[in-house]
C-alpha cells in the first residue's frame, strides 16, 4: 500500500537572531491511508512543527513532504492554500471557532470552500450536536466546541486530519469522548488521523505511536490491538 | 432567502459586535461627506440661483458710464445684432426724511421707462405697482430703504437736488438685481439704509430733475448668447466715438493722470465700462459664495483624514485581535486575497454607509441652506438641483479614503503565517529607547502615576492617534473661535479704539472744512474734526492698488490709527500710512517711495514715503494728514466729511440742525452701522455654532474609538489589576490620567496647527474679499486658546466614559483567562 503522508529527510531550523533552533532533525516517516497515528513527546520535541509541515502551514528547511502524492514542499503559496482547502482538516487545542458565528455557521464557513462539501447539519448531528447547532461558541461547553471544530474540519471532506492537542483544554471524560469520536471517524469515514499529544496513555488508542524527542523520532510502536478510547485512563 | 456567505456573515457580526466604534467612524465619514455636499451643492445652487435671478430680470452684461451722451447713441447700440441696450440716468441726490427725524439721506436715482418695464435691469415690484404712466411725479423705492423707513405705496418722498425740492408719490416697493446687496461705493461698501437709499424714477422726470433732456449718463447692454463680445465692444466703441466720446476704458483700469490732462486739453471725453462680474453687488455675492466653496473642501478634508486614521487604528486593532482567526482562515484554505478583502470589507461598509447617508443628508441640507440663504437675501429664486458630479465626487471620496486607509492593515494580514498565528503573541514591552530612561525618571513616583505615563509609550502609535483626535477637535474649536476673535477684534478695535466719533457727516462732493466750527457749535455736539477722502491709485514698482487716501487731522482725537500690534500711530507729514493688508499686495517696506495717482481729476499726483502700516478692516484705505491731502488737492479748506462727537445719544433736534446745513449730504451714525453689522452677523453665529458642534463630534468620535481600542486591548491586564484588588475608582483615575497626558500631547500638536489653519482660512477669505473688503490677519485671543483646550480635554474626558464603564463591568473570571478576544 502506498503511504498517503510521506516525509523524507525533513529538517526544520528556526533562526532567532544569531541562534539557530533545530525543531526537526532529518526525519523520515510514512503514514498510510486510514491510519490513526499518535505523535507523542514532551514540549519542544517538534511534534507540532511536524504537524504544521504536513498541513502546509510551514515549510521544511530541507527534505520533502508528500501528501497524497503532492509534494507539499514544492507548492507555491496559492497552491498551498488549495492544498489545505482540499487535503487537510485541522483540529486545534483551543478550538479556534469564529466567536461571531454559531455552530452551524462555523461549519458552513469551511464548507463554502469545498468543491463537494459535506452537509453541515449532518456533520453536526454526527458529532452529537443536533440540538446545539444554533448556539454560539460562547454558549457551548469545551467539549461541544471541539465537536464543532471536528465537524468543521470534516466539512471539506479532507483525506487527512491533523489534531494538535485536541483534548488539551478538556476534562478527562470529555477528552475521552473526543478521542472516541475521532476514532469512529477514522473507521467510518476512512480518514487518516494524526494526533499530537504529550499525554502518554493516549498512545494506546493509536494504530501506531510515534515518540518524538529533540526533533527526532525516538521510536515507533505498532499497536496490533488499539485500545477502545472508552477504556482510556490517565 | 438569499444565503449570505459565512465569511461575509462574520464581517457583519464583527461590525455589530463593535457597533458603537464603527458607528463613530461612520459618523465622521458622514459628517465629512455631508459637509462637502452641503457646502459645494449650496455653492453651486447659489451660483445658479444668482444667475437665474440676474437672467430673469435681464441683468446687463455691461455698464458704460459717461458724463452725458445723446439718446441716439443708445439707439445705435441697440441696433447692433444680438445686442439689447438701454440708456438711463443715474445720479445721487438727497432724500429729505425731515418729517420723521430731520434726516437727510443720500439717494441714488436710476431712471426707468415710464410706460413699461425696462428690457434690461428690470425691477421686481414687491408691493404696489410699476409707474402708472399718467403722471411723471411717481417713484419706486428699493426694498432695503423702504423697509428701514417703513415706506409704503401712497407715501410721498421729498427729493432735493441743487437746492430744488420736489415731492414724488411712491407707486411701488421694488427689488433690483443691481441692489440685492447695497453698495454705495468702493470706499463705503456697507452704507446703512438710514443714510443711503435707491430710488427709481421715470426717465422724463429724471431728465427734468437733472437737467439732462434727451441725454443719458449710463448705457447698459446685454449680449445674446453666441455673439462675439469683442466685436460688440468694438462696435460700441465706434458708436461712442461718433458721439464725441473718444476713449472707452474699463472701470478697473482708469485713464492715467497724464493722459487725462491731455484729454482735457484736447477735449477728449471718456466712457468707463464695467463688466457684470466686476459690479460691486456681483463681487460681494461671489465672495460670499467662495466662502462656501472653501468650507466645502477644508473641513471635509479634516474629517476624512481623521476618518481614515480612525479606520487604520480600528482595523489594525481588529486584525491584531483576530490573528488566530486569520491563521485559521489561512489554515482552512482561505486565500490571502480573500482575507485581505474580508478586512477591507470593514472599511468598505463603513465608507458606503457613511457616504450614502452623507450624500443624502448633504443634498437635503444643501437645498435647505440654499433656500434659507436666498430668503435672507430676499431673492425669490432658489434653484436647488441635484449636482451629479458633486454627489459622485463626495460619494467616491467617502468610500475610497477609508478603503485606502484600510488597505495598510488589511495588507498586513499577508504577513501573518497560519502556524504563528495559532500561538498567542508575545506581550510588547514598548519602545525600549523611550522606556528605559522613562523607567528611571519615574522611579520615585507612585504606581498610579507611573503606569499611565508608561502606558503612553507602550503603543506610541495609538497614543499619537488619540492625540491627533484631540488635536483635530482643538483645531475645529480654534478655527471657529478665531472667527469670533476676528469679529470681536474688528468691532472692539474699530469701535473701541479707532473710531472715537459718534457720527460721520458726509458733505456734498468736496465741501468745506469750515463746517467743523459750525457743527461744533451746535448744542449737543462736543467735538468735530474734518476728513478729506480722495480716490487714489497707489503704485510701488509694478504693483498697484486702487483705493482712497483719507486726510485726517494730526493728533486727531476722533480717529486713532493703530498698528497691527495695537499701538497708537499718528498721521504725520513724514508720509502715507497704508493698511496692513496692502503689505503683500504692494510689497513695499517702510521708507520706500510710493507713487500716488488720483483716480479722478488731473491734480494731486505725487511721490510719498511709506511711513508705516496700520490695522484696518472693512473699507481699508490709506491715511495722510488732512493738510497734506488738502495740499495735494490744492484746496486748503477742502473736506468730504466731518467726524462728530455728541454729548450722549444725539436727539432728533441736533441731527436735524446738522442735516439742515447746506453742504451736508447725510449723517452716518456709528451706532446704526454697528446695529446693521450685528444683524448681518446672525448667519455667521449659526455657522460658528455648527462648526463647534462638528468639532466636538469629531473629537468625541475619535477619542471614543481610541480609548475603546486601548482598553479592550488591555482588558486582561486591567482585569488582572482589578483581580489583585485595584478599585474601580483608582482604575478610572489611571485611565483618565493616561488620557489627560495624551490630551496634553494633542494640545501641543493642535495649537500651532489650529493657528496655522485659522490663518490659512483667513488668507483665503481675505483674498476672495480683496475687491471689497480689506482685512488684517487675526490675532487669536488667549480666551480662544483656553476655550479650545478646555473643550478638547472635556470632550476627551466625556468620550472615555463608555470605555471605563466597559472595563469596570467586565467578568474578571473570563477575561483573566483569555489572551485575546
Domains of chain A and CATH, by start: 5-231 (3.40.50.300)
Is-contact B591 B610, C-beta < 8 A? yes
- The phi, psi pair for B216, rounded to 5°, reads -135, 165
Same domain, B705 and B797: yes
Residue B329 to residue B331: CA distance in whole angstroms: 5
Distance from CA of B410 to the nearest CA of A (A): 18
Q: Is A232 on the interface with B (CB under 8 A)?
A: no
Same domain, B118 and B188: yes
Query: Which chain B residues contact residue A81 at CB under 8 A?
Result: 330, 333-336
Instruction: Encode B192-236 in three state secondary structure.
Output: CCCCEEEEEEEHHHHHHHCCCCCEEEEEEEEECCCCCHHHHHHHH
A25: Cβ contacts below 8 Å, ≥ 6 apart: A11, A46, A214, A215, A216
Q: Which residue of B has its CA nearest to A89?
A: B332
Burial class (CB in 10 A: 0-12, 13-18, 19+), B449: middle
B705: Cβ contacts below 8 Å, ≥ 6 apart: B21, B24, B25, B310, B313, B314, B469
Same domain, B481 and B517: no
Best of A90, A97, A142 to disrupt the B interface (most B CBs within 10 Å) is: A90
Q: How many CB atoms lie within 10 A of CB A69?
A: 9
Q: Could you say which of A90, A98, A110 has the minimum Cβ distance to residue B325?
A: A98
Residues B325, A52: C-beta atoms closer than 8 Å: no
Query: Which chain B residues contact residue A57 at CB under 8 A?
Result: 330-331, 417-419
Q: Is A102 on the interface with B (CB under 8 A)?
A: no
The reported pLDDT for the residue numbered B164 is 84
Residue count of chain A, please give it.
234
Residue B462 to residue B460: CA distance in whole angstroms: 5
Choose among A43, A64, A60: nearest CA to A52: A60
Cell (9 digits) for A145 = 466546541
Residues A81, B418: C-beta atoms closer than 8 Å: no
B254 in helix, strand or coil? coil
The reported pLDDT for the residue numbered B354 is 95
The reported pLDDT for the residue numbered B707 is 81
pLDDT band with cut points at 50, 70 and 90 for residue A89: very high
Residue A204 to residue A223: CA distance in whole angstroms: 7
Distance from CA of B5 to the nearest CA of A (A): 8
**Cβ-count burial A34-43 (b if 16+ within 10 Å, e if not):** bbbbbbbbee
Same domain, B267 and B211: yes
Distance from CA of A137 to the nearest CA of B (A): 12
Q: What pairing do the DSSP bridges indicate for beta strands B247-250 and B83-88?
A: unpaired
Q: Where are the beta strands (DSSP E) in B287-378?
A: none
B649 in helix, strand or coil? coil
Cell (9 digits) for B575 = 508720509
Distance from CA of A226 to the nearest CA of B (A): 30
Is-contact B319 B421, C-beta < 8 A? no
Same domain, B452 and B591: no
Choose among B286, B373, B299, B294: nearest CA to B690: B299
Q: Which residue of A has its CA nearest to B6?
A: A109
Same domain, B126 and B223: yes
Q: Which residue of A has its CA nearest to B18?
A: A100
Cell (9 digits) for B362 = 448633504
Q: Which residue of B has its CA nearest to A98?
A: B325
Domain that holds residue B539: 503-649
Q: Cell match 499701538: residue?
A: B567
Best of A79, A96, A121 to disrupt the B interface (most B CBs within 10 Å) is: A96
Residues A85, B333: C-beta atoms closer than 8 Å: yes
**Residue stretches of chain B with pLDDT short of 50:** 100, 768-774, 819-821
Q: Which residue of A has its CA nearest to B322?
A: A98
Choose among B262, B155, B243, B230: nearest CA to B199: B155
Same domain, B478 and B507: no
- The phi, psi pair for B673, rounded to 5°, reads -60, -45
Cell (9 digits) for B119 = 428690457
The reported pLDDT for the residue numbered B87 is 93
From residue B498, how far is each of B256, B477, B560 by CA, in Å?
Answer: 33, 29, 4
Distance from CA of A177 to the nearest CA of B (A): 24
B779: Cβ contacts below 8 Å, ≥ 6 apart: B485, B489
Choose among B541, B451, B471: nearest CA to B736: B451
Question: What DSSP string describes chain A?
Answer: ---SEEEEEEEEEEEETTEEEEEEEEEEEEE-TT-EEEEE--TTSSHHHHHHHHTTSS--SEEEEEETTEEGGG--HHHHHHHHHHHEEEE-TT----TTS-HHHHHHHHHTT-SSPPPHHHHHHHTT-TTSTT--GGGS-HHHHHHHHHHHHHTT--SEEEEESTTTTS-HHHHHHHHHHHHHHHHHS--EEEEEES-GGGGGGSSEEEEEETTEEEEEEE-SSPPPGGG---
Same domain, B231 and B88: yes
Let me know if residue B378 belongs to a domain: no
Let me know if residue B538 belongs to a domain: yes
Euclidean distance between the first and the last CA atom of chain B, given in angstroms as a whole number = 32
Same domain, B710 and B640: no
Residue B494 to residue B492: CA distance in whole angstroms: 6
Q: Is A52 on the interface with B (CB under 8 A)?
A: yes
Q: Is A16 on the interface with B (CB under 8 A)?
A: no
B148: Cβ contacts below 8 Å, ≥ 6 apart: B192, B193, B194, B197
Distance from CA of B327 to the nearest CA of A (A): 9
Residue B819 to residue B821: CA distance in whole angstroms: 7
Q: How many domains does one find in chain B?
A: 3
Residue B559 per-residue DSSP state: B
Q: Could you say which of B9, B332, B336 has the minimum Cβ distance to residue A84?
A: B332
Burial class (CB in 10 A: 0-12, 13-18, 19+), A215: buried
The reported pLDDT for the residue numbered B769 is 47
High-pLDDT (> 70) share of chain A, %: 100
Same domain, B817 and B760: yes
The angle that helices B336-376 and B388-412 make with each other, rounded to 10 degrees, is 150
Let me know if residue B40 belongs to a domain: no
Q: What pairing do the DSSP bridges indicate for beta strands B156-161 and B90-97?
A: antiparallel
Choose among A192, A175, A195, A182: nearest CA to A48: A195
Let me know if residue B629 belongs to a domain: yes
CA dihedral A158, A163, A164, A168 (to 10 degrees): 150
Please determine, for the modelled complex, whether the ipTM score is greater than 0.85.
Answer: no
Same domain, B483 and B512: no
Q: Could you say which of A84, A101, A108 has the minimum Cβ distance to residue B331?
A: A84
Q: Which residue of A has its CA nearest to B335?
A: A81
Q: Is B360 left (phi over 0), alpha (psi -120 to 50) or beta?
A: alpha
Residue A88 to residue B114: CA distance in whole angstroms: 97
Let me know if residue B361 belongs to a domain: no
Residue B623 to residue B154: CA distance in whole angstroms: 46
Counting runs of H as helices and runs of E as strands, what totals does chain B give? 27, 21
Residue A230 to residue A173: CA distance in whole angstroms: 9
Query: Which chain B residues contact residue A106 at CB under 8 A?
Result: 6
Let me know if residue B346 belongs to a domain: no
In sequence order, the β-bridge partners of residue A36 are A193
The reported pLDDT for the residue numbered B806 is 83
The angle that helices B801-809 and B715-723 make with each other, rounded to 10 degrees, is 60
Query: Which chain B residues contact residue A55 at CB under 8 A?
Result: 331
Q: Is A85 on the interface with B (CB under 8 A)?
A: yes
The reported pLDDT for the residue numbered B439 is 65
Q: Is A136 on the interface with B (CB under 8 A)?
A: no
Q: How many CB atoms lie within 10 A of CB B388?
A: 8
Is-contact A47 A196, C-beta < 8 A? yes
Residue B144 to residue B81: CA distance in whole angstroms: 37
Let me know if residue B152 belongs to a domain: yes
> Which residues of A, range 152-171, sit inside 8 Å of B by Cβ?
152, 156, 164
Q: Which residue of B has its CA nearest to A97?
A: B325
Let me know if residue B554 belongs to a domain: yes
Distance from CA of A108 to the nearest CA of B (A): 7
Choose among B499, B533, B560: nearest CA to B640: B533
Same domain, B531 and B471: no
Amino acid at each position: 500500500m502506498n503511504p498517503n503522508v510521506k516525509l523524507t529527510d525533513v529538517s526544520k531550523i528556526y533562526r532567532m537572531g544569531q541562534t539557530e533552533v533545530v525543531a526537526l532533525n532529518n526525519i523520515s516517516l510514512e503514514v498510510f491511508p486510514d491510519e490513526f497515528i499518535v505523535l507523542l513527546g514532551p514540549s519542544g520535541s517538534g511534534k507540532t512543527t511536524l504537524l504544521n509541515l504536513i498541513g502546509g502551514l510551514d515549510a521544511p528547511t530541507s527534505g520533502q513532504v508528500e501528501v497524497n502524492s503532492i509534494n507539499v514542499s514544492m507548492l507555491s503559496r496559492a497552491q498551498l492554500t488549495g492544498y489545505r482547502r482540499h487535503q487537510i482538516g485541522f483540529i486545534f487545542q483551543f478550538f479556534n471557532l469564529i466567536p461571531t458565528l454559531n455552530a452551524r455557521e462555523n461549519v458552513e464557513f469551511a464548507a463554502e470552500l469545498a468543491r463537494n462539501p459535506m452537509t453541515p447539519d449532518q456533520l453536526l448531528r454526527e458529532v452529537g450536536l443536533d440540538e446545539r447547532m444554533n448556539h454560539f461558541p460562547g454558549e457551548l461547553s469545551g467539549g461541544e466546541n471541539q465537536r464543532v471544530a471536528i465537524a468543521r474540519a470534516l466539512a471539506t471532506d479532507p483525506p487527512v486530519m491533523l489534531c494538535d492537542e485536541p483534548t488539551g483544554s478538556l476534562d478527562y471524560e470529555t477528552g475521552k469522548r473526543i478521542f472516541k469520536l475521532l476514532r469512529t471517524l477514522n473507521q467510518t469515514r476512512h480518514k487518516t488521523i494524526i494526533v499530537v499529544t504529550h499525554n502518554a496513555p493516549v498512545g494506546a488508542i493509536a494504530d501506531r505511536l510515534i515518540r518524538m524527542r529533540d526533533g527526532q523520532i525516538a521510536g515507533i510502536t505498532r499497536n496490533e490491538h488499539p485500545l477502545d478510547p472508552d477504556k482510556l485512563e490517565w | 432567502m438569499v444565503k449570505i456567505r459565512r465569511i461575509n456573515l462574520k464581517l457583519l457580526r464583527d461590525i455589530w459586535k463593535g457597533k458603537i466604534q464603527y458607528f463613530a467612524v461612520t459618523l465622521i465619514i458622514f459628517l465629512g461627506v455631508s459637509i462637502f455636499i452641503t457646502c459645494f451643492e449650496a455653492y453651486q445652487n447659489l451660483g445658479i440661483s444668482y444667475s437665474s435671478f440676474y437672467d430673469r430680470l435681464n441683468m446687463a452684461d455691461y455698464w458704460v458710464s459717461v458724463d452725458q451722451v445723446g439718446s441716439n447713441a443708445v439707439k445705435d447700440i441697440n441696433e447692433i445684432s444680438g445686442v439689447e441696450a438701454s440708456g438711463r440716468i443715474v445720479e445721487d441726490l438727497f432724500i429729505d426724511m425731515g418729517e420723521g427725524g430731520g434726516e437727510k439721506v443720500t439717494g441714488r436715482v436710476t431712471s426707468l421707462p415710464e410706460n413699461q418695464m425696462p428690457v434690461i435691469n428690470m425691477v421686481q415690484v414687491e408691493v404696489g405697482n410699476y409707474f402708472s404712466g399718467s403722471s411723471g411725479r411717481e417713484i419706486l423705492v428699493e426694498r432695503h430703504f423702504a423697509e428701514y423707513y417703513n415706506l409704503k405705496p401712497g407715501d410721498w418722498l421729498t427729493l432735493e437736488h441743487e437746492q430744488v425740492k420736489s415731492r414724488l408719490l411712491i407707486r411701488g416697493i421694488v427689488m433690483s438685481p443691481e441692489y440685492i446687496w447695497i453698495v454705495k461705493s468702493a470706499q463705503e461698501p456697507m452704507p446703512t439704509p438710514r443714510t443711503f437709499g435707491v430710488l427709481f424714477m421715470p426717465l422724463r422726470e429724471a431728465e427734468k430733475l437733472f437737467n439732462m433732456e434727451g441725454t443719458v449718463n449710463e448705457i447698459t447692454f446685454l449680449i445674446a448668447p453666441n455673439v462675439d463680445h469683442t466685436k460688440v465692444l468694438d462696435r460700441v466703441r465706434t458708436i461712442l466715438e461718433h458721439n464725441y466720446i473718444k476713449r472707452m476704458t474699463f472701470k478697473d483700469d482708469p485713464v492715467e493722470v497724464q493722459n487725462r490732462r491731455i484729454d482735457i486739453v484736447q477735449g477728449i471725453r471718456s466712457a468707463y465700462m464695467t463688466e457684470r462680474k466686476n459690479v460691486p453687488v456681483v463681487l460681494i455675492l461671489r465672495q460670499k459664495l467662495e466662502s462656501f466653496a472653501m468650507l466645502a473642501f477644508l473641513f471635509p478634508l479634516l474629517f476624512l483624514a481623521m476618518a481614515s486614521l480612525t479606520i487604520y487604528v480600528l482595523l489594525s486593532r481588529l486584525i491584531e485581535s483576530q490573528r488566530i482567526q486569520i491563521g485559521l482562515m489561512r489554515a482552512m484554505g482561505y486565500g490571502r486575497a480573500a482575507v485581505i478583502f474580508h478586512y477591507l470589507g470593514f472599511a468598505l461598509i463603513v465608507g458606503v454607509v457613511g457616504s450614502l447617508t452623507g450624500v443624502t443628508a448633504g443634498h437635503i441640507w444643501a437645498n435647505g441652506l440654499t433656500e434659507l440663504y436666498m430668503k435672507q437675501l430676499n431673492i425669490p429664486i432658489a434653484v436647488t438641483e441635484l449636482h451629479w458630479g458633486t454627489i459622485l465626487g463626495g460619494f467616491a471620496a467617502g468610500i475610497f479614503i477609508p478603503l485606502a486607509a484600510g488597505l495598510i492593515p488589511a495588507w498586513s494580514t499577508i504577513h501573518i503565517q497560519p502556524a504563528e498565528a495559532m500561538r498567542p503573541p508575545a506581550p510588547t514591552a514598548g519602545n525600549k529607547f523611550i522606556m528605559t530612561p522613562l523607567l528611571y525618571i519615574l522611579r520615585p513616583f507612585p504606581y498610579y502615576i507611573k503606569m499611565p505615563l508608561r502606558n503612553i509609550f507602550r503603543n506610541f502609535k495609538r497614543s499619537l492617534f488619540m492625540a491627533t483626535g484631540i488635536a483635530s477637535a482643538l483645531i475645529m474649536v480654534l478655527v471657529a473661535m478665531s472667527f469670533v476673535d476676528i469679529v470681536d477684534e474688528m468691532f472692539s478695535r474699530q469701535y473701541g479704539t479707532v473710531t472715537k466719533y459718534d457720527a460721520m457727516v458726509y458733505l456734498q462732493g468736496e465741501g468745506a472744512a469750515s463746517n467743523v466750527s459750525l457743527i461744533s457749535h451746535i448744542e449737543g455736539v462736543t467735538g468735530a474734526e474734518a476728513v478729506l477722502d480722495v480716490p487714489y491709485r497707489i503704485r510701488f514698482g509694478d504693483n498697484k492698488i486702487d483705493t482712497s487716501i483719507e486726510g485726517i487731522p494730526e493728533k486727531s482725537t476722533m480717529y486713532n490709527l493703530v498698528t497691527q500690534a495695537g499701538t497708537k500711530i499718528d498721521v504725520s507729514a513724514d508720509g502715507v500710512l497704508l493698511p496692513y493688508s496692502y503689505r503683500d499686495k504692494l510689497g513695499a517696506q517702510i521708507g520706500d517711495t510710493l507713487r500716488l495717482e488720483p483716480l479722478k481729476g488731473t491734480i494731486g499726483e505725487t511721490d510719498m514715503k511709506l511711513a508705516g502700516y496700520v490695522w484696518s478692516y472693512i473699507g481699508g484705505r490709506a491715511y495722510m494728514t488732512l493738510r497734506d491731502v488738502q495740499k495735494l488737492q490744492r484746496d486748503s479748506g477742502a473736506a468730504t466729511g466731518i467726524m462728530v462727537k455728541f454729548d450722549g445719544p444725539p436727539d432728533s433736534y441736533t441731527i436735524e440742525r446738522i442735516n439742515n446745513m447746506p453742504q451736508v449730504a447725510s449723517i452716518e451714525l456709528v451706532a446704526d452701522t454697528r446695529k446693521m453689522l450685528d444683524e448681518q452677523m446672525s448667519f455667521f453665529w449659526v455657522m460658528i455654532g455648527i462648526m463647534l458642534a462638528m468639532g466636538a463630534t469629531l473629537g468625541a468620535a475619535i477619542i471614543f474609538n481610541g480609548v475603546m481600542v486601548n482598553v479592550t486591548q488591555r482588558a486582561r491586564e486591567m482585569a488582572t489589576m482589578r483581580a489583585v484588588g485595584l478599585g474601580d475608582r483608582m482604575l478610572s483615575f489611571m485611565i483618565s490620567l493616561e488620557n489627560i497626558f495624551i490630551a496634553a500631547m494633542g494640545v501641543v500638536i493642535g495649537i500651532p496647527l489650529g493657528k496655522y489653519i485659522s490663518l490659512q482660512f483667513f488668507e483665503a477669505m481675505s483674498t476672495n474679499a480683496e475687491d471689497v473688503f480689506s482685512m488684517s490677519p487675526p490675532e487669536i485671543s488667549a480666551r480662544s486658546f483656553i476655550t479650545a483646550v478646555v473643550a478638547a480635554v472635556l470632550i476627551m474626558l466625556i468620550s472615555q466614559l463608555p470605555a471605563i464603564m466597559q472595563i469596570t463591568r467586565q467578568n474578571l473570571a473570563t477575561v483573566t483567562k483569555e489572551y485575546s478576544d
